[in-house]
């Protein structure tokens, strides 16, 4: 099953659903020009641990405190079980980011705190390895995930938050069409301390508007 292009920055995404979404995390594969998104498997532990270990100083200022066993195989398997439960319960969707040229793990992206009912929304989080940062990979990744959120999950709203001093993340969200909506005091506990965050959101209306702009440009 192929989806139409989203019209977002990083155009030309392709989605492949090998089975219905209820069939499990393994049914999803999102392809961009240089990146591939899919749920991790047990075989991915070593590659994940290596890129995270090499990027620890780069990532720690922006993430929750790492547990002592963060990079062990056992912790990775716990993470996989949690991911599988989230997918099964429609509570969250986590994927690793692979570089298409050599299938190297270069980052990850997740939709969490999924709310159905009158909200139909979720929160987006992402990370990229230090050696892969500032190369435009995440500018391809976010549109792929947004298309998945709006076309496959039928969400109305996707939220994201970043620390006020995380200039790279702010630029990324704005470049991908997110709108800054506010400032939340002591919003998340990052690296052992509660921090203020800037709040951003992307609506399904934004998604359709971007697609219309791209289609109009393609017709010119």
Residue 107, in any domain of the structure: yes
**pLDDT digits 0-9 by tens, 143-195:** 999 999 999 999 999 999 999 999 999 999 999 999 999 999 999 999 999 99
Residue 97, in any domain of the structure: yes
Q: Is 176 exposed, middle or buried (0-12, 13-18, 19+ CB in 10 A)?
A: buried
Q: And the tokens for 126? A: 């992402």
User: What is the CATH classification number for the domain harbouring 85?
Assistant: 3.40.630.30
Residue 185, in any domain of the structure: no
Residue 192, in any domain of the structure: no
Residue 189, in any domain of the structure: no
Range of the domain at 62: 14-155
Domain total in the chain: 1
pLDDT at site 215: 77
pLDDT at site 213: 86
Residue 165, in any domain of the structure: no
Residue 103, in any domain of the structure: yes
β-pair type (14-17, 28-31)? antiparallel
Q: 143 — alpha (psi -120 to 50), left (phi > 0) or beta?
A: alpha
Residue 104, in any domain of the structure: yes
Rounded Cα–Cα distance for residues 1 and 5 (Å): 13
Residue with tokens 């109009």: 216
Q: Is the pTM of this model over 0.85?
A: yes
Regions of the chain short of the pLDDT cut 70: 1-26, 220
pLDDT at site 104: 96
Give the residue from 168, 115, 114 showing the smallest Cα distance to 142: 168
């Amino acid at each position: 099953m192929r989806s139409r292009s989203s019209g977002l920055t990083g155009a030309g995404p392709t989605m492949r659903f090998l089975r219905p979404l209820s069939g499990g995390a393994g049914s999803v594969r999102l392809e961009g020009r240089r990146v591939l998104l899919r749920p991790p498997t047990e075989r991915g532990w070593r590659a994940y641990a290596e890129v995270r270990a090499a990027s620890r100083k780069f990532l720690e200022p922006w993430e929750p405190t790492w547990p002592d066993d963060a990079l062990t195989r056992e912790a990775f398997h716990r993470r996989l079980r949690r991911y599988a439960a989230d997918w099964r319960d429609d509570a969250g969707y986590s994927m690793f980011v692979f570089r298409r040229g050599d299938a190297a793990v270069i980052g990850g992206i997740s939709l969490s705190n999924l709310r159905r009912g009158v909200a139909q929304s979720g929160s987006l989080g992402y990370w990229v390895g230090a050696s892969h940062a500032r190369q435009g990979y995440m500018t391809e990744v976010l549109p792929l995930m947004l298309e998945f959120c709006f076309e496959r999950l039928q969400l109305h709203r996707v939220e994201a938050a970043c620390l006020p001093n995380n200039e790279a993340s702010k630029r990324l969200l704005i470049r991908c069409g997110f709108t800054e909506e506010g400032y939340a005091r002591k919003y998340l506990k990052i690296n052992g301390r509660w921090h203020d965050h800037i709040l951003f959101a992307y609506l399904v209306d934004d998604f359709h508007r971007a697609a219309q702009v791209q289609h109009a440009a393609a017709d010119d």
